[in-house]
């Protein structure tokens, strides 16, 4: 009985080992093989890089310091800061009394010279008539050779005197013109139309030639000049549109169009100047304001 029990246990252990080593069913293998594989990552797509902001300042084509053209005391001011003036408007007047006196004297001297020209013209005409009579009388034997020579000398002398006085008239006119020019210099005038942005002198100041008296600004068109690196892939061109914003108010935008691109590159910075004209700028925009030009950059890939 004991040996029979041992045989039965051995048979059961062999059957259990055979059941644990069996392969899975074919349908289970097929179901496992039909599952989808993980999706491949999408290719990198290009997106615009953040634009570069280039600092700049609003400017105008014409802005100059108007200077005194001669020495003198400021007798009168006709314009102040904020005044709108036209080209040729008198901004101030210097003491002109001495020059006015010199102009009056020069005018009188010119009149004297012109009268002497008229007198010598009449004298020449009379002496030429005497010369003709002397020639006729000498030819008829009624006059001497000495009388003829005297008449010729007087006629020639009158001609020389007339030319001398004519030259004197031209000299007096040149002197008068120079003094009138000096008189004009006692008026400090606007070279072009614009707005007085600064006044440097006061009434009673004594100025010398070259002293700054006013700063005159042409308010339009408004320009902005900025620098673009030579290596920048985005090249500017005339007519290209750009945008900008105020440094003090990033929400205040303006449009501009490129009008000039410098043909040379600044060796120190490796960039070239670009000038753009603002299109219909708002009244709040004024020369000298700090701005930023939004300059586009080329597309760059995102991973």
Q: What is the pLDDT of residues 51-77, one digit of tens each?
A: 788 999 999 988 899 999 999 999 999
Q: How far is the CA of 250 from the CAs of 48, 116, 162, 246, 290, in angstroms?
A: 21, 77, 78, 5, 11
3-state secondary structure of 90: strand
Q: What is the pLDDT of residues 80-102, one digit of tens each?
A: 999 999 999 999 999 999 999 99
Q: What is the pLDDT of residues 153-201, one digit of tens each?
A: 999 999 999 999 999 999 999 999 999 999 999 999 999 999 999 999 9
In the sheet where 212-217 sits, what is the strand order?
63-67, 212-217, 194-199, 84-85
Q: What is the pLDDT of residues 204-224, one digit of tens each?
A: 999 999 999 999 998 888 999
Going by DSSP bridges, is the β-strand pair 84-85/194-199 parallel, antiparallel, or unpaired? antiparallel
Whole-angstrom Cα distance, residue 212 to residue 68? 7
Going by DSSP bridges, is the β-strand pair 300-301/46-47 parallel, antiparallel, or unpaired? antiparallel
pLDDT of 78 > 90? The answer is yes
Going by DSSP bridges, is the β-strand pair 194-199/90-94 parallel, antiparallel, or unpaired? unpaired
Contact between 283 and 271 under an 8 Å Cβ cutoff? The reply is: no
pTM, 2 dp: 0.61
Q: How far is the CA of 219 from the CAs of 178, 243, 262, in angstroms?
A: 35, 20, 23
């Amino acid at each position: 009985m004991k040996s029979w029990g041992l045989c039965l246990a051995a048979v059961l252990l062999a059957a259990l080992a055979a059941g644990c080593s069996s392969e899975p069913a074919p349908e289970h293998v097929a179901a496992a093989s039909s599952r989808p594989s993980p999706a491949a990552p999408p290719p990198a797509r290009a997106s615009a890089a953040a634009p570069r902001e280039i600092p700049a300042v609003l400017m105008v084509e014409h802005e100059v310091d108007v200077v005194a053209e001669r020495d003198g005391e400021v007798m009168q001011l006709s314009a102040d800061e904020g005044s709108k003036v036209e080209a040729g408007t008198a901004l101030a007047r210097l003491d002109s009394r001495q020059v006015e006196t010199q102009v009056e004297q020069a005018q009188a001297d010119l009149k004297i010279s012109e009268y002497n020209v008229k007198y010598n013209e009449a004298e020449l005409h009379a002496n030429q008539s005497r010369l003709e009579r002397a020639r006729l009388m000498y030819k008829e034997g009624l006059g001497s050779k000495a009388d003829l020579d005297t008449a010729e000398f007087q006629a020639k002398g009158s001609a020389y005197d007339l030319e001398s006085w004519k030259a004197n008239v031209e000299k007096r006119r040149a002197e008068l013109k120079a003094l009138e020019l000096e008189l004009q210099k006692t008026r400090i005038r606007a070279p072009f139309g614009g707005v007085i942005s600064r006044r440097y002198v006061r009434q009673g100041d004594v100025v010398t030639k070259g002293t700054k008296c006013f700063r005159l600004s042409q308010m339009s068109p408004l320009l902005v000049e900025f620098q673009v690196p030579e290596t920048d892939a985005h090249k500017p061109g005339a007519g290209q549109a750009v945008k900008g914003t105020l440094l003090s108010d990033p929400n205040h935008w303006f449009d501009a169009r490129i009008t000039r691109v410098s043909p040379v590159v600044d060796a120190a910075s490796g960039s070239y100047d670009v000038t753009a004209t603002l299109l219909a700028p708002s009244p709040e925009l004024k020369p000298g304001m700090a701005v930023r030009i939004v300059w586009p950059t080329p597309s760059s890939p995102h991973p």
